[in-house]
Amino acid sequence: MNGNRLCLTAGALLLAACSSQGGEGPTPEQFKAALDAQLQALRPGGMTERTVLFENVRVGKSNGPRHSFSVTATVHDYGPGYPSNGYYGQTCVGRMDNWIFEMVPNAMGDWVVQGRMTVTDNECRNNPAEGQAAVPVTSLAGQRAAAVAMPPPPEGGSLALGEYACYGTGSQLMAGMGFVLSSDGSYADLDDDRGGNWQYDEGSASIRFSGGFLDGQRGSGVSAEGFAITDTVSCEPY
C-alpha cells in the first residue's frame, strides 16, 4: 500500500495514511444544480423551456457516500406550439412537495441525483398568444439553482477492513449483500462462504473483486466511509 501504515480506528483497520479522510458531502446549492441539470435533460417533447424553482431543500441523512435531500420545488415547462397554425402551445406546472432524493458518486466518480424525476400530476394550460406563457414563471414561488462547481468525489486513500453492509435506493439495507474484507486481500460473505479476493487501487480510489458473489464488481469513490458499487448500490463499514 505504497508504504502506508495500518491504523486502528473505532475498532476497524484502516488501510492508508492515518491523516487521510473522506470529503464532505454535497451542499444544498450543489445538489440543486445537479438536480436541475438532470431535470433539464428530461424536458418533455414539445417543450422548449424548463424552469425549476426551488422553494426549500433540506439536508437529510448520509449513508457512506450517499447523501439524501428533501426538496420542495416547482417545475415550469413552456412549449411554443405552432403559431402559424394558430396553436400557441402549452404551459405545464408541476410540484415536488418534500420529495426525497439521494446524491451519490457513480462508477465514474461523478455525482448523480437518484430518485423520482417525473411529476405526473402537473397542470397544463393553453398559451393565450405567441410567445406568451399561460402561467408566467414570475408568478411562481422559488428560485432557480445557482451555477456552482460540483464537489469532488469522496477522497481516496483509505479503505476500512472488516464487515460491510450494502444499501440500495432509498438507503434500504440489502439482505444477503453483507461481506467481510480481510487484510490478506480476501473477502467472504457473512456466512464465511462465497468468497474471493479484492484489490484496492489507492490512486483511483477504487476496489475490484474477483471470485465469489462479487466477482467482477468494482467499487468507486473509496473512503473510510465506504464506496459505491453502482449508481444505486453503496457499501459501508458496519
Q: CB burial class (10 A; 0-12, 13-18, 19+) of residue 129?
A: exposed
Instruction: Quote the pLDDT of residue 93.
Output: 98
Q: What is the DSSP string of 92-147?
A: EEEEEEEEEEEEEE-TTS-EEEES----SS-EEEE-SBTTB-SS-GGGS--BPPP-
pTM above 0.75, yes or no: no
Instruction: Quote the pLDDT of residue 32.
Output: 98
- Measured distance CA(75)–CA(140) in Å, rounded: 10
**Span between the terminal Cα atoms of the chain, in Å:** 23
Would you say 216 and 210 are in contact if contact means Cβ atoms under 8 Å apart? yes
Percent of the chain at pLDDT > 70 equals 84
Query: What is the domain partition of the chain in residue ranges?
Result: 6-23+154-237, 28-139
Instruction: Quote the pLDDT of residue 153.
Output: 64
Residue 185's closest CA among 209, 204, 158, 163? 209
Q: What is the DSSP string of 16-30?
A: S-TT--PPP---HHH
Instruction: Quote the pLDDT of residue 176.
Output: 86
Low-confidence ranges of the chain (pLDDT < 70): 1-24, 63-65, 106-109, 153-158
Instruction: Quote the pLDDT of residue 223.
Output: 82
- Measured distance CA(166)–CA(189) in Å, rounded: 12
Does domain 6-23+154-237 bear CATH number 1.10.3470?
Answer: no
- Measured distance CA(59)–CA(69) in Å, rounded: 5
